[in-house]
Structure 1
Amino acid sequence: MPETLYLTIDLVDRYLSTKVASRKELQLIGISSMLLACKYEEIWAPEAFQQILYMEREILEKMEWNLTVATPYVFLVRFIKATVPSDKEMEYMAFYLADNGLMHYQLVVSFSPSMIAAAAMAAKDTKLKGVHRKFSSIDRGAVALLPSAVHLDS
């Protein structure tokens, strides 16, 4: 679920802002944060190993057991609900742009979740193509394949 992705990123960021982690720990922190987000947002939580359970507990303690946060996804859903009439292409485009923004750490930490959702800026040239493929599919309106709104040819 998209909520899980956004909460995972938020947990990783908040945890790393409280503790210096070694490079070896980053993957463990990421998977533990994802499992916490799954348990919080999803109906069926994945099974975990002992190391992951330990890291989950450590993350929860650093977060003071507070997993309820307003991520950009929460604001996007609210903004989309406020649009009348509903426009699926606009909705897909907003999620596409917001998901692209997640890959730019400086953007994520520099702006509030509501500002990220409102702006939903995308970087045109990126090596990270997963989001582009996701939103190139017909079931998501193929919004990633639409031409840019502004062309800077100078």
Structure 2
Amino acid sequence: MRTVLKAVVVAIVCFLHFGEFALAAGTAATATEGRGERTVLGDLDLRTPAGKQVSLIPLVGSQAIVVVFWGSGCRSCAEEVQRLNGLDSDRLIKVVAVNEGDSVKTIEDFSAKHNVAYEVVVDLDGAVARAFEVSGVPSCVILSRSGLIVYRGPKLPEEIDYYVAQ
């Protein structure tokens, strides 16, 4: 019985290890639940309210990326700002907040009022939300250091350390 159990454990570990490698190598489009999905960061046109282009590609390999989708009328979005500021201060995590639907003035006012210290970009036509397969605010997507989507949900997960460590 122990030999069979040992063989099953080894098979599972090998599957998980090589399954993750296959995703990182781009041979599979979607992983099993909890193992991550590929994403194409190079296709995203991220711009700050001032028009400066922001790229996530240089972060892959060195930082986990927390992408939050927010709007100025979202109360829970305002409540998460301090937690997001704390995450962004970690050198292994980059927070990018994608605003949907607000004017540049409204974004700047919200950022100043709530002391937003992380990168804010605008999604004028919804392309970024479609790329990350989110609908509406609030939403959160977490990318591992290898660039795989490891979390997608309506808010920051309570166990965020688990996701950013992947």
Q: TM-score range by the shorter chain?
A: under 0.3
Structure 1 or 2: more strand by fraction: 2
* Structure of higher CA gyration radius: 2
TM-score of the superposed pair, with normalisation by structure 1: 0.28
TM-score of the superposed pair, with normalisation by structure 2: 0.26
